[in-house]
Structure 1
């Protein structure tokens, strides 16, 4: 009745065929009992309580799929409050019983999602490997000798193993991305402040982010959209200010050779190269960039005064319970005592100086594509060298929240030697979360790596991510407004962006209007004319810019609906038919740019 991987499309299809959330609850109970990894959950929801939650949902919303997340099961990292379940942060002596749900959990429940339990983590979310917990170390679903990644270890494994459709993690240094890479999952790391942290045990309060593990980018984004929204109780909560990205010709920054470091893992390096090739095949423009200032910023998170934020989060508890801490976690947090207030300000100055240095890189790229983690390790290797080997995992993740960036980690395939999964992460400007999802989804699909433990699973067509509605107005240009042409600034000046280069339908003709200086194009449609279509560009501009644009168009030109070669219609430049009398026809050249080049020749 239910597939091995519980993606949203499969569950909704099962519900539409007559399955119920109660059926699913029974399936999850059976799967939990059959699980070979006892370290996934710290506190699973009791069997009877899970069934009762399913029945309550069916009473509240009896129509299948009538809520955004109707009957979708999810797990919660155990530093996020769920009413009725203890919050431990993987430290039994710290445990408390929350009276209410964290904001994100409350919103997900209201949308119809079902909590199945609280998951294991690196204690106090301090670590990227998943071994720093008295409740045991969850393992990679592909090889139990290897770490699961952390700190959101149990959350990632629960989804990858088919026990939950999605899970909540948190991400300070990469905890919502590294476990995704090690378990063949998508990891959604929102822009800091987009999702509120009310009811979350802090690690570094100023940069913490609640994240989502899911099988597809579409599923993860759907969850994030339910969770997001300003909450004044979180001092770092911010209203969303969506940032767009080009839909065509996306410039993707990749590592320069001297900045590549995979710690001897040639398999992961090969996966990174393959991901770059896929991105280029999808139409991206690949451009190496200087990663050095980003790497230096990443080092500040653990080797700078930000570690003092971890002490600030638990200082009162630490003063009386030092012996209850994981030894490695304790050594990291107590190391914060070496930093002074002066160090904190100097760290801020250093971060802002590095931010200035990164601006040069951003001038040449729209987003960056990095390895999610440069390598992985067996559990015994990690335990033998817990600080150094853990730091390897954060080489390409630690800077993102310090700089307020959005990120989506996606699977990149499996290594040829160990058959372990690896991943890459697309990182974009703050609040580019929705725009970033479009290319992240396409990149994941091209990897053809399945979802979680189910390597053969096909990503559902219904779960494709479509470009977000950015409120901009599309306009087709055919002449001097093309990229690089004299009037292109009238599009770029008001913040317009290029959507695509394409052709018109075949029955359009192009002329050079007589007595115009500089020369102007005249585009007309002649039904029955059998041409090849004309090269044009589609841009998007604000409604205000579109209005000004239309008002300033001189006769005999105007704006009308133009049919493109794919059958779609868009507003664009057209010419009154009478104006082409005696005009030079240049249809055979294929477009205005070719005409200008012919004049120059």
Structure 2
């Protein structure tokens, strides 16, 4: 009989509620006991190491002390797992190679960030050795099976992290992604896989695969949970990581109500008709939410081929070090790949880098014409038996729509998609230029809510309550607009051309009066806060990238300006205000409740604006 913890399929919100109810330690110990009981019946190869009860209580005691001291702990008591190429202080790091194993002296920066937020490390997970593979089978600790059908692969290299999240054991886990390792397992296990812009999350304390391309990734049951974790991991640039970068805070933070999504004009599924049919169904669903435009995929395919057919393999050789001289200590397929790194010369490296840059520029220009690219996460899936027959060929097929992403410096978000006819998951991946991670998440939320698939491989239904009100994206300013900047109004382009994203339509607190200003072109309103006889006025909220906010404000003419605006629900946001001097000659239009109603009345009566 399969033993399932009572917390199976819990999201961050569920765990946070348990903390509020004072059940945090009780639930964590129950989870650990259930994992131990299940392991006593049969080994769970998704785990390499797990915390014991003493270690769990030690983490909890430290958190209780910090909570009592008044620290802000947004992930208090939330359990998580990490791929075993990521360091945790006092834990072994093996990268799925026992001969490589060492005990970490300190936490990787990403682990330290999560612990600082109050999260509790439950265990370290299995992987394709040295993160070399998209299959989940290249490990001496065992091949991690698919969470829906154990005869199929789980995908890799972050196989164990995907498995423990898909089965609902933890609400999120960290993986890594160089060629698709944070996305393919998500697609094979009905998960969200967030592959961030390179350098957003620190790689300090992570065993490298290709150091110039590596990303720490996040697996979660919902887009909201993945975003919440990413905000913690990417809150600050890590100056101790030479590849860490700071966001320019100028990229889009959301998508239009009906975005333009590119899709490859020619798609390859390697004869997998079930995966092809599932993607066609996904395409039909996408067409309800977005405009789909076909593009030439040739540059993407050529760049993808460079990853394993070019000198970046030498980065893997460099990461493995002297172990490459000990083939008996390594997985045979991994060694066969990594050992080829020495065949490339410096001339090969520079030639490939020049071609990479040319293709990346071409790809980035293509993506500037759309809001994102959408592809199948993987064109096919294979059984464990099939992988033994063609371990390299089938692995290469899995990377058809993933290998190019980090080479081209792109952001990506893998999402659950309609299931195949055989009951296995399929997945789609949204891809955009660097730093558009929150824009991808914006559409990802809509997509997940649209399909409302069960969470991972659990029996938990996706609930509308799992989609919370959209937080302000880091690096953005939330602005309330009341007149000519509303959607469909003449100055709305000043927002959209600066990559601002519409958030919601709402109302001010009932403390304002609205006026039509005199002698303004195009017609503009003035909003004034009053001590009495105020009313709620309809406004729209937009998130403006911080780096573009100054240019937006610079275009605002007198007597208007930007100040603080109080909303009906108590939130305070930036918004348009008006100098009192201009209101004497203005027309009070408060009774219309908003600018749209006033403009509609003007058109109806064919009056000239005041």
TM bin, normalised by shorter chain, reads: 0.7 to 0.9
Change in Cα spacing, 1:245 to 1:272, as seen in structure 2 (3 Å) is farther
Change in Cα spacing, 1:37 to 1:561, as seen in structure 2 (3 Å) is same
> Counterpart of 2:531?
none
- Does 1:194 find its partner at 2:196? no
User: Pick from 401, 404, 411: which aligns with 2:409?
Assistant: 404
Following superposition, the deviation at residue 471 of structure 1 comes to: 1.8
| Larger mean Cα displacement after TM superposition, 129-138 or 108-117 | 108-117
> Counterpart of 2:6?
2
- Does 1:281 find its partner at 2:284? no
User: Pick from 204, 229, 232: which aligns with 2:239?
Assistant: 232
Following superposition, the deviation at residue 184 of structure 1 comes to: 1.4
Q: Secondary structure at the match of 1:551?
A: coil
How far apart, in 2, do the equivalents of 1:376 and 1:33 lie?
Answer: 31
For each residue in 1:498-547, what CA deviation from the matched residue of structure 2 results, as whole angstroms up to 9, or x when unmatched? Answer: 63898999xx999999xx9x98547799xxxxxxx999997958543444
> Counterpart of 1:170?
176
User: Pick from 436, 442, 467: which aligns with 2:440?
Assistant: 436
> Counterpart of 1:530?
none
- Does 1:422 find its partner at 2:426? yes
Residues 553, 562 of structure 2: 8 Å contact kept: no
Q: Secondary structure at the match of 1:313?
A: helix
**What does residue range 172-321 of structure 1 map to in structure 2 within 5 Å?**
172-228=178-234, 229-242=236-249, 243-249=251-257, 251-258=259-266, 260-282=267-289, 284-319=290-325, 321=326
Following superposition, the deviation at residue 289 of structure 1 comes to: 2.1
> Counterpart of 2:47?
41
Q: Secondary structure at the match of 1:281?
A: coil
| Larger mean Cα displacement after TM superposition, 351-360 or 64-73 | 64-73
How far apart, in 1, do the equivalents of 2:48 and 2:68 lie?
Answer: 31
> Counterpart of 2:502?
499
Residues 254, 438 of structure 2: 8 Å contact kept: no
Following superposition, the deviation at residue 79 of structure 1 comes to: 0.7
Change in Cα spacing, 1:58 to 1:334, as seen in structure 2 (3 Å) is same
Residues 451, 459 of structure 1: 8 Å contact kept: no
How far apart, in 1, do the equivalents of 2:104 and 2:441 lie?
Answer: 34
> Counterpart of 1:333?
338
Q: Secondary structure at the match of 1:75?
A: strand
**What does residue range 543-554 of structure 1 map to in structure 2 within 5 Å?**
543-551=549-557
Residues 481, 539 of structure 2: 8 Å contact kept: no
- Does 1:107 find its partner at 2:151? no
How far apart, in 2, do the equivalents of 1:535 and 1:231 lie?
Answer: 38
- Does 1:382 find its partner at 2:390? no
- Does 1:450 find its partner at 2:417? no
Residues 263, 292 of structure 2: 8 Å contact kept: no
How far apart, in 1, do the equivalents of 2:322 and 2:84 lie?
Answer: 20
How far apart, in 1, do the equivalents of 2:24 and 2:489 lie?
Answer: 57
> Counterpart of 1:528?
none
> Counterpart of 1:322?
327
How far apart, in 2, do the equivalents of 1:410 and 1:92 lie?
Answer: 33
How far apart, in 1, do the equivalents of 2:270 and 2:262 lie?
Answer: 18
Change in Cα spacing, 1:491 to 1:588, as seen in structure 2 (3 Å) is closer
> Counterpart of 1:599?
none
User: Pick from 92, 103, 108: which aligns with 2:98?
Assistant: 92
Residues 510, 587 of structure 1: 8 Å contact kept: no
Following superposition, the deviation at residue 550 of structure 1 comes to: 3.0
Change in Cα spacing, 1:578 to 1:454, as seen in structure 2 (3 Å) is same
Q: Secondary structure at the match of 2:362?
A: helix
How far apart, in 2, do the equivalents of 1:512 and 1:87 lie?
Answer: 66
> Counterpart of 1:362?
367
Unaligned runs of 5+ in 2: 528-536, 589-595
For each residue in 1:58-117, what CA deviation from the matched residue of structure 2 results, as whole angstroms up to 9, or x when unmatched? Answer: 344369996111111111111111122211111111111111111111221222211122
| Larger mean Cα displacement after TM superposition, 93-102 or 357-366 | 357-366
Following superposition, the deviation at residue 484 of structure 1 comes to: 10
How many correspondences in the alignment?
Answer: 574
Residues 5, 454 of structure 1: 8 Å contact kept: yes
Residues 193, 414 of structure 2: 8 Å contact kept: yes
Q: Secondary structure at the match of 1:24?
A: helix
Following superposition, the deviation at residue 140 of structure 1 comes to: 0.9
Residues 32, 53 of structure 2: 8 Å contact kept: no
Change in Cα spacing, 1:402 to 1:595, as seen in structure 2 (3 Å) is farther
Change in Cα spacing, 1:37 to 1:452, as seen in structure 2 (3 Å) is farther
Residues 405, 430 of structure 1: 8 Å contact kept: yes
How far apart, in 2, do the equivalents of 1:424 and 1:594 lie?
Answer: 47
Change in Cα spacing, 1:413 to 1:520, as seen in structure 2 (3 Å) is closer
How far apart, in 2, do the equivalents of 1:560 and 1:232 lie?
Answer: 35
Following superposition, the deviation at residue 326 of structure 1 comes to: 0.7
Q: Secondary structure at the match of 1:368?
A: strand
How far apart, in 2, do the equivalents of 1:30 and 1:225 lie?
Answer: 30
> Counterpart of 2:350?
345
Q: Secondary structure at the match of 1:168?
A: strand
Following superposition, the deviation at residue 14 of structure 1 comes to: 2.4
Change in Cα spacing, 1:117 to 1:482, as seen in structure 2 (3 Å) is closer
For each residue in 1:1-37, what CA deviation from the matched residue of structure 2 results, as whole angstroms up to 9, or x when unmatched? Answer: 9332132111222233331324422322323431555
Unaligned runs of 5+ in 1: 526-532, 597-601
> Counterpart of 1:26?
30
Following superposition, the deviation at residue 223 of structure 1 comes to: 1.8
Q: Secondary structure at the match of 1:179?
A: helix
Change in Cα spacing, 1:572 to 1:80, as seen in structure 2 (3 Å) is same
Residues 435, 467 of structure 1: 8 Å contact kept: no
Q: Secondary structure at the match of 2:216?
A: strand
> Counterpart of 2:533?
none
The CA RMSD measured in Å over matched residues stands at 4.0
